Chain A
Amino acid sequence: MRYRAPTERFATFKEYMIRLVQGRVRHAEFMAVNHISLDIYPGEVFGVIGQNGAGKSTLLKVAARVLPPTEGRVVIKGWTAALLELGAGFHPELTGRENIFLNGAILGFTQKEMAALFDQVVDFSELGEFIEAPMRTYSSGMWTRLGFAVATVQRPDILLIDEVLGVGDEAFQKKSFRRIQEFSEKGTTILFVSHSMDAVATMCQRAAWLDHGVLKFLGEPKDVINAYRASFQNGN
């Protein structure tokens, strides 16, 4: 997965043209995820750890079809749901109800399917009558609660999670955690990116440690975490 990033960010086309004429446009290419070969088996919970900028989120985005790989290949079998950034597709002027349908459509549901699942979403998000109010009146907690409720309305075959378990208050965190666990018990494959070693150690069957886009260690969560921690102590 190669990113093409300008060494400077040009805000405007005018500026870009000026620089182009001056011959000062340079692109630095860097590999956010580089030569990683991974098999994730059906039904397993797979954790990914690593420092900031290690390529964890990029890996998830490649799996979520957001980024087509520049090189290499991704094969995904089954319906995939992503908990990347919750409520990204909500529109503040629309009511919760309208946004549920809009976000449902973004996830690939039809109007009819969403209508059938609607009550369940509202129940889970605990929004009650606020569902008829425009989303701009929502608190950030309500916003993410609804985002989570919509994104997990149906058990997917594959669930991609990017550090979003810390949403809402404690009660809601527990509730969302339970839902994810339920999915896992019913056979959902989970790819889980986290900074929380505890979460990875308790939830995952296998884990991988990424460092600057390279796969450093793959195996039992315990061993991976130990290897990752050891790298700090060596002053790396």
Chain B
Amino acid sequence: MIENRHTQVYDSAKRAPRPIEELRQVFRYRYLIAQLLRRDVMTRYKRSVLGIAWTMINPLGTMLVLSIAFSQVFKFVEGYSAFVLSGLMAWNFFSQASTAAIINLVWGGGLLKRVYIPRTAFALAAIGTGLVNLGFSLIPLVVVLLINRIPIGWAFLFLPVPVLLMAMFSLGVGLLISSFAIYYPDVAEMYQIILTAWMYLTPVIYPAEVMPEFARNLVQILNPMYWMVELFRAPIYLGQIPGWSAIWPSLLVCTLTLVIGWWVFCTRSDEMAYRI
């Protein structure tokens, strides 16, 4: 490894297009991304007493509050706490991972001006951190399912599919917004407001059936998170594996978002170093 570093040649004129070059560099710096991920996971809770347990307590607490507030309203939803927790896990993953991708980059901006590292490294590490946290929150989920007597079946094995789709989508959105947030920090603030509105337009705390027909149709078309929350929830709450017809629109949207986000971010990333 150390030997082949010495044959390294950098020629600024002979570079592949930025988005492709970036992929190559990400692979070369995969250890850095692993280290950044470790740092994110470890520093987040390092100075707290309960430590990593917070990744589990956090969704549980929200679930508890929402269950108390809404279980009477949505009386017809059986096992509301399991319903809401599965939705929250999906939503929190998306909102936290995409936000962290933006925040990390703004934080890392100073670093990018001093040393060379692939500029997507921070966003990738943020998504990885989100995946780790999601993994931890599966533990309280199982407990809640058991309490609600919802069987845990083979359908659980389908979960990696919606998780992967959400990871792609979060990365795409995170990079796209980062392309702007790097110049104007308040874009990150605006994104928080958008996220709040976005959550209420996604069937996280209410079942999709309560939406009026026209609104539901509209949301289905415009809100990719609608499908992803449903895809994530179905195997957990209903014990069903969604059909291909429910998967392909999400696959298409997520792939597109990721490609566009990656492309925009990478082509603008050179300018980032000049202007941060």
Give A contacts to B, CB under 8 Å.
3-5, 10-14, 16, 61-62, 64-70, 72-80, 82, 84-85, 88-89, 91, 93-94, 98, 101-102, 105-111, 113, 134, 154, 157
Interfacial chain B residues near A12, Cβ < 8 Å = 184-186
Interfacial chain A residues near B39, Cβ < 8 Å = 91, 94, 98, 102
Contact pick for A106, options B1, B34, B47, B115, CB 8 Å? B115
Closest to B107 in A: A91
Q: Knowing A66-B112, A102-B35, A105-B29 are in contact, say whether A113-B274 is a contact too (CB < 8 A).
A: no
Q: Knowing A4-B271, A10-B184, A79-B5 are in contact, say whether A93-B115 is a contact too (CB < 8 A).
A: no
- Report the Cα distance A111→B30, complex, angstroms: 11
User: Are A75 and B274 in contact, with the CB atoms below 8 A?
Assistant: no
Interfacial chain A residues near B32, Cβ < 8 Å = 105-106, 108
A203 CB, min distance to chain B CBs, angstroms: 23
B78 interface contact, C-beta 8 A: no
Interface of A is mostly: loop
B18 CB, min distance to chain A CBs, angstroms: 9
User: Are B6 and A65 in contact, with the CB atoms below 8 A?
Assistant: no
Sample of 11 A–B contacts (CB below 8 Å): A11-B185, A68-B270, A79-B5, A85-B114, A89-B114, A89-B115, A102-B36, A105-B34, A108-B5, A110-B1, A113-B1
- Report the Cα distance A10→B186, complex, angstroms: 11
User: Are B9 and A93 in contact, with the CB atoms below 8 A?
Assistant: no
Closest to B5 in A: A79
Interface of B is mostly: helix
- Report the Cα distance A56→B192, complex, angstroms: 40
Using an 8 Å CB-CB cutoff, how does the interface string of B162-192 with A read, 1 for contact, 0 for none?
A: 0000000000000000001001111100100
User: Are A76 and B9 in contact, with the CB atoms below 8 A?
Assistant: yes
User: Are B36 and A73 in contact, with the CB atoms below 8 A?
Assistant: no
Interfacial chain A residues near B12, Cβ < 8 Å = 62, 68-69, 72-75
Interfacial chain A residues near B187, Cβ < 8 Å = 13
Contact pick for A94, options B42, B180, B273, CB 8 Å? B42
User: Are B270 and A88 in contact, with the CB atoms below 8 A?
Assistant: no
B210 CB, min distance to chain A CBs, angstroms: 36
Interfacial chain A residues near B112, Cβ < 8 Å = 66
User: Are A105 and B184 in contact, with the CB atoms below 8 A?
Assistant: no
User: Are B46 and A93 in contact, with the CB atoms below 8 A?
Assistant: yes
User: Are B31 and A109 in contact, with the CB atoms below 8 A?
Assistant: yes
Q: Knowing A75-B9, A84-B114, A91-B43 are in contact, say whether A108-B29 is a contact too (CB < 8 A).
A: yes
B5 CB, min distance to chain A CBs, angstroms: 4
User: Are A113 and B273 in contact, with the CB atoms below 8 A?
Assistant: no
- Report the Cα distance A4→B276, complex, angstroms: 11
A199 CB, min distance to chain B CBs, angstroms: 22
